[in-house]
């Protein structure tokens, strides 16, 4: 697989099951599924798309091999959530392509930041976030995830004219 074999597409209800499957797979492997996981993964239109968010899919030969959600958390910010890449393609740049799509979308929609919550056990993900200039910030005491032990923020620069 070459990077140009992957096509990043926006939400399509036909891929909602892939969004859930890819995420349940990695979360169950490392953590317990939490109520907020089920809420978002089982009802992505209601909890992500309708409130103003987006879900991107990395497609390879018409199959969703990666996904990520941007949940509108305020008028100025998206929360990056539920990033997953099928195990056989991890470490091959799919996550970076999904991340770039998120940043481009945030910029295009006028957001000034992307925030995320993660766990430091996800070393590859944390490394990628830092490579995209995310900076660690204080934890959100209202976090809906008991596994979250790191919170990061990326300031989005407006599009250059």
β-bridge pairing 77-85 and 113-118? parallel
For residue 2, name the pLDDT band (cuts at 50, 70, 90).
low
If one counts the domains in the chain, the total is: 1
Does residue 160 fall inside a structural domain? Answer: no
Dihedral angle, C-alpha 57, 151, 107, 74, nearest 10 °: 100
pLDDT at 48: 96
Range 122-125, long-range pairs (CB < 8 A, 24+ positions): 122/30, 124/90, 124/91, 124/95, 125/83, 125/95
Q: Could you tell me the residue range of the domain that residue 42 belongs to?
A: 3-155
Residue 76 lies in a domain: yes
Helix (H, G, I), strand (E, B) or coil at 29: helix
Within-domain flag for 161: no
Whether 141 is in a domain gets the answer: yes
**1 CB-side CA count, 13 A:** 16
Global confidence as pTM? 0.92
* Residue 42, both tokens: 């089982």
- 161 — pLDDT class (breaks 50, 70, 90): low
Q: pLDDT (tens digit, 9 = 90+) per residue, 71-101?
A: 999 999 999 999 999 998 998 999 999 999 9
Pairwise CA distance, residues 141 & 136, whole Å: 15
Does the pLDDT at position 1 exceed 60? no
What torsion do the CA atoms of 135, 140, 145, 148 make, to the nearest 10 degrees? 40
128 in a structural domain? yes
7-40: pLDDT as tens digits: 999 999 999 999 999 999 989 988 889 988 999 9
More confident residue, 42 or 1: 42
pLDDT exceeds 70 at position 64 = yes
Whether 79 is covered by a domain: the verdict is: yes
Beta bridge partners of 136: 152
Does residue 8 form part of some domain? yes
pLDDT surpasses 80 at 3: no
**pLDDT score at 53:** 97
Q: Say if CB 117 and CB 73 are below 8 A apart.
A: no
Q: What is the pLDDT of residues 114-152, one digit of tens each?
A: 999 999 999 999 999 999 999 999 988 888 888 899 999
Give the Cα separation of 47 and 39 in Å (integer).
8
- Residue 93's domain is classified under what CATH number? 3.40.630.30
């Amino acid at each position: 697989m070459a990077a140009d074999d992957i096509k990043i597409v926006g939400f399509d209800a036909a891929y909602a099951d892939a969004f859930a499957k890819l995420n349940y797979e990695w979360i169950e492997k490392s953590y317990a599924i939490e109520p907020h996981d089920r809420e978002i993964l089982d009802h992505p239109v209601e909890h992500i798309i309708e409130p103003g968010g987006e879900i991107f899919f990395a497609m390879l030969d018409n199959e969703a091999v990666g996904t990520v959600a941007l949940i509108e958390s305020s008028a100025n910010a998206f929360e990056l959530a539920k990033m997953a890449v099928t195990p056989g393609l991890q470490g091959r740049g799919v996550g970076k392509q999904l991340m770039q799509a998120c940043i481009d979308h945030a910029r295009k929609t006028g957001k000034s930041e992307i925030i995320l919550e993660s766990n430091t056990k996800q070393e590859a993900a944390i490394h990628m976030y830092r490579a995209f200039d995310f900076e660690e910030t204080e934890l959100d005491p209202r976090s809906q995830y008991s596994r979250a032990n790191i919170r990061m923020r990326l300031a989005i620069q407006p599009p250059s004219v």
